[in-house]
Amino acid sequence: MSNAALRLDTYEQHTPQFSYRPRSPRNTGYHKLVADNYEELEGVWDSIYQRMYGYWRPHVLDVIYKYLDCGDPHLGFARVKCNDCNTEYLLPFSCKCRGFCPSCHQRRVVEFGEYLHDEVLEDVPHRQYVFTIPKRLRPYFMHNRKLLAKLSLCAWEVLSDYLKTSVSASVNDDNIKPAAAIAVQTFGELLNFNSHLHVIAADGCFNENGDFLLGISPNADDLTEPFANAVLKMLKKEKLINLAVINNMSTWQHSGFNVHCSSSVNFSDTEAIERLARYIVRAPISQERMKYIPEANSSDGEGKVIYEGKTTGRFETFSALDFLARLVTHIPNKYEQTVRYYGYYSNKSRGVRAKAEANDATVEISSESTNISSCSDHSATCPNQGDISVAQPQTPAQAEDLTIKIPISLSRKRFKKNWSRLIQKIYNVDPLKCPNCGGKMRIIAFIEEETVIRKILTHLNKWLPQYHDPPDHLGNYNMPASLNVDTIPSLNETLENTQLNMFSERTYEWWESNNKLNSSITCQNVKSYTHQKDITTYLTEDEYQHPFEDEFSQEVFYED
């Protein structure tokens, strides 16, 4: 391979208008802010921030480490090559962290928009509701994030009753179901902790046959008081507030509870629905509205962040540490659900409908298979050969297999996740269009082996040994080409006892993770970790086992 054929940063020398430039996250102010300050933040958390924001969550550090490595070619990359002119570039892996990595979060946001429109919502009018709570009550949700699920349920119960009533005047049916997706957001305009809910709900209810009954136009003010009562009751039940607090709050002129609803959007307006969906799961931080001033450039020697509020346009200046401290309060816990589906859109209801559809599909295919099975010649010349494996289940096991496969191939809405198409949606450019000749590019390999990564990057003069080589002082510990999991304890011990201080923590972390040595990865899941990792995947088996815990955070394997 020659330097001319294989480029990394030089990619932008080509016409960027119609091509995708692999991003350089390390050059952003946001990345610098995190890299410069996270260690100090962790160090001073207990003394400065714990009182305000609660205990330091170890998960925060995991996310920060992953984010700092996101897009780092030293950790692996895909090789993307043009079919026509052989131009090639390297695309580093992404961290997939939600709520913190702006780039990865944004990709999920776009994906969620499509998912909601294509897989969840029915072809009926919808609208957005926003449920907010008083400042006085927000800290409870910051210190106990599990309460956010209960907050979501409060909103659902109130809205559900309301929507049922809005159609029941014309219908006498106890089994009607409203339908909604509710997203929890924890951030306010200047990243203050402001737990609130964004709801996308159908403008009526579904009956048992799946027919939609349009409700009357909602008046959000009618929802405020029932919502306030539901939340106060819930917090009292949790023993967080008592009757005295409730009585006191009821004397306030403005309760601080608020429900807002926007105008109705037709399902056929795909762009509007997807925009709405993207909005309800958007990232807490906007890099465009943030300016980081590092210590060295700051007049008083303290790192600063100037941040502009989205709606008011108000600027606020923070110390870098204060800003980062605010920011990390919005990182969801590891398997924390941020979007929930209720009523006709609940996972259960959708599952029942999907199963019914699959059964219908099985009947159709089975009747087709009768025709095909009349062909007794299954040789390569048989025109039906390609269908036989699915069309002729002969044993119960094969029949079982058939019913599993069909729902995927006959999916009602055919939701298709596609990395290049999603990037196009975000940046309006096609990452798989050749910057040189405009031809179609494709991913030809995923490079994950440390030795190969090093070889390629060294060849390109992109290997940065100061960050990525284990120190020379390891003496006898030359890094083995492939590490046996059994060697972990002795290796770790040696590092801890003698050499750890020679590592920067970051280097150690990198070295650990790059060699699949992370202590959270057990022997058993090292294999899965390696296999599941693709261009946008950086998972442990634990994460892989919970792909549908949160539809918004579901793991997606982009492929082309």
Distance between CA atoms of residues 387 and 369, nearest Å: 9
**Closer residue to Zn ion, CB minimum distance, 147 or 285:** 285
**Closer residue to Zn ion, CB minimum distance, 108 or 516:** 108
Least CB distance to Zn ion at residue 33 (A): 15
Using CB under 5 A as the binding rule, whether residue 436 contacts Zn ion is answered as yes
Least CB distance to Zn ion at residue 540 (A): 16
Interface region with Zn ion, contact rule CB under 5 A, candidates 64-72, 343-351, 369-377, 471-479: 64-72
**Closer residue to Zn ion, CB minimum distance, 135 or 442:** 442
Using CB under 5 A as the binding rule, whether residue 437 contacts Zn ion is answered as yes
Interface region with Zn ion, contact rule CB under 5 A, candidates 278-286, 381-389, 427-435, 471-479: 427-435
**Closer residue to Zn ion, CB minimum distance, 442 or 531:** 442
Strand partners, 182: 199, 340
Per-residue contact string for residues 87-106; x = within reach of Zn ion by CB under 5 A: x------xx-----x--x--
**Closer residue to Zn ion, CB minimum distance, 321 or 434:** 434
Least CB distance to Zn ion at residue 98 (A): 9
Give yes or no for a contact between 308 and 302, defined as CB atoms under 8 angstroms apart: no
Interface region with Zn ion, contact rule CB under 5 A, candidates 69-77, 270-278, 371-379, 511-519: 69-77
Give yes or no for a contact between 390 and 402, defined as CB atoms under 8 angstroms apart: yes
- 3 state SS of 153: helix
Of 35, 61, 85, 388, the residue at the interface with Zn ion (CB under 5 A) is 85
**Closer residue to Zn ion, CB minimum distance, 31 or 340:** 31
Least CB distance to Zn ion at residue 433 (A): 9
Least CB distance to Zn ion at residue 213 (A): 43
Using CB under 5 A as the binding rule, whether residue 199 contacts Zn ion is answered as no
**Closer residue to Zn ion, CB minimum distance, 15 or 333:** 15
Query: And the tokens for 31?
Result: 């990345």
Using CB under 5 A as the binding rule, whether residue 261 contacts Zn ion is answered as no
Interface region with Zn ion, contact rule CB under 5 A, candidates 277-285, 299-307, 429-437, 537-545: 429-437
Distance between CA atoms of residues 537 and 529, nearest Å: 9
Least CB distance to Zn ion at residue 148 (A): 23
**CA separation (Å) from 8 to 14, 21, 107?**
12, 9, 22
Scan for tokens 């106060």, then name that residue: 232
Scan for tokens 């001319």, then name that residue: 4
**Closer residue to Zn ion, CB minimum distance, 64 or 121:** 64
Least CB distance to Zn ion at residue 31 (A): 10
Distance between CA atoms of residues 81 and 433, nearest Å: 10
User: Residue 143's CB: how many other CB atoms inside 10 A?
Assistant: 13
Q: What is the 3-state secondary structure (H, E, C) of 411-478?
A: CCCCCCCCHHHHHHHHHCCCCCECCCCCCEEEEEEEECCHHHHHHHHHHCCCCCHHHHCCCHHHCCCC
Using CB under 5 A as the binding rule, whether residue 426 contacts Zn ion is answered as no
Give yes or no for a contact between 80 and 441, defined as CB atoms under 8 angstroms apart: yes
Interface region with Zn ion, contact rule CB under 5 A, candidates 210-218, 248-256, 309-317, 426-434: 426-434
Strand partners, 204: 214
Least CB distance to Zn ion at residue 515 (A): 21
Using CB under 5 A as the binding rule, whether residue 62 contacts Zn ion is answered as no
Give yes or no for a contact between 218 and 261, defined as CB atoms under 8 angstroms apart: yes
Site for Zn ion in 400-419 (CB under 5 A): none
Query: And the tokens for 17?
Result: 């208008």
Of 41, 64, 68, 70, the residue at the interface with Zn ion (CB under 5 A) is 70
User: Residue 414's CB: how many other CB atoms inside 10 A?
Assistant: 10
Give yes or no for a contact between 506 and 498, defined as CB atoms under 8 angstroms apart: no
Of 12, 40, 46, 84, the residue at the interface with Zn ion (CB under 5 A) is 84
Q: Using CA atoms in the order 134, 136, 140, 145, what is the torsion angle rounded to 10 degrees?
A: 30
Q: Using CA atoms in the order 483, 484, 485, 489, what is the torsion angle rounded to 10 degrees?
A: -80
Beta-sheet strand order (sheet of 179-187): 258-261, 126-132, 193-202, 179-187, 339-343
**Closer residue to Zn ion, CB minimum distance, 390 or 437:** 437
Applying CB under 5 A, the site for Zn ion has a residue count of 13
Using CB under 5 A as the binding rule, whether residue 434 contacts Zn ion is answered as yes
Least CB distance to Zn ion at residue 71 (A): 7
Site for Zn ion in 103-122 (CB under 5 A): 104
Interface region with Zn ion, contact rule CB under 5 A, candidates 68-76, 149-157, 171-179, 336-344: 68-76
Of 29, 125, 256, 439, the residue at the interface with Zn ion (CB under 5 A) is 439
**Which string of b and e fits 301-322 if b means at least 16 CB within 10 Å?**
eebbbebbeeeeeeeeebebbb
Give yes or no for a contact between 199 and 185, defined as CB atoms under 8 angstroms apart: no
Residues lying near Zn ion in the complex (CB under 5 A)? 70, 82, 84-85, 87, 94-95, 101, 104, 434, 436-437, 439
